Amino acid sequence: MFAQRLSSPRAFRLPAIMTLFAIMLPMLAGCGYNTIPTAEENAKAAWSEVLNQYQRRADLIPNLVETVKGYATHEKDTLDAVVEARAKATQITVTPETLKDPEAFKKFQDAQSGLTSALSRLIAVSESYPDLKANQNFLALQAQLEGTENRIAVARRDYIQAVRDYNLTLKTFPSVLWATLWFRSNQPFANFTVDEDKMQVPKVDFGTSTKQGG
């Protein structure tokens, strides 16, 4: 009886399946099976960096607004616009898990663009207040804001490229085979669609030209 069990097809089925997987996995990897999940994780990581930089900008704004408020008392509308734009931008969140939702992504994008525009107007207002432009705290905040805007631009660029790479894997050969057979739930990620001229960072003027001209 024992010998019969050993010689039965079932006794050898599991080892045979395990052997088959052991042979197939390296072949799948060599054929690009890991291309889709790797590109997907790269895109998610790039998006996380975009979020980090936008949050860094949001954290700078309260101090910037308070500093400007101390000198530009007649610019209430401009200051309120920045505060409102910041509130709206921080209320809309797109996580790496929801990048497949173009509508949610567009709302996030529009909110951040609105904050960029509000900050640009605030920086422009400072030109009318020499004492504000000479304030060391304001200058430090300007420098931090400029650096953050540059980091945002870099993070966005990296995300755009990562998403292009990922979306391409879902529709090009041979990775499209894996998308059809193994990654059916994977969908293209949303991407930034703002024109390049609308992505310009707020201009930061440290007043050097005024000093040199005087």
Dist CA 42 CA 142 (whole Å):
32
Give a yes or no: residue 1 inside a domain: no
Give a yes or no: residue 21 inside a domain: no
Res 21: pLDDT? 46
Give a yes or no: residue 26 inside a domain: no
Which amino acid appears at position 176 of this protein? V
Res 10: pLDDT? 52
Q: Are 166 and 34 in contact (CB under 8 A)?
A: no
Give a yes or no: residue 46 inside a domain: yes
Res 212: pLDDT? 37
The torsion angle over the Cα atoms of residues 16, 21, 26 and 32, rounded to 10 degrees, is 140
Dist CA 5 CA 3 (whole Å):
5
Tens-digit pLDDT profile for the chain (214 aa)?
Answer: 544 544 555 544 556 555 544 445 444 444 568 999 999 999 999 999 999 999 999 999 999 999 999 999 899 999 999 999 999 999 999 998 889 999 999 999 999 999 999 999 999 999 899 999 999 999 999 999 999 999 999 999 999 999 999 999 999 988 888 788 888 889 999 999 865 444 455 555 544 433 333 3
Domain that holds residue 207: 41-213
Looking at the structure of the chain, the number of domains it has is 1
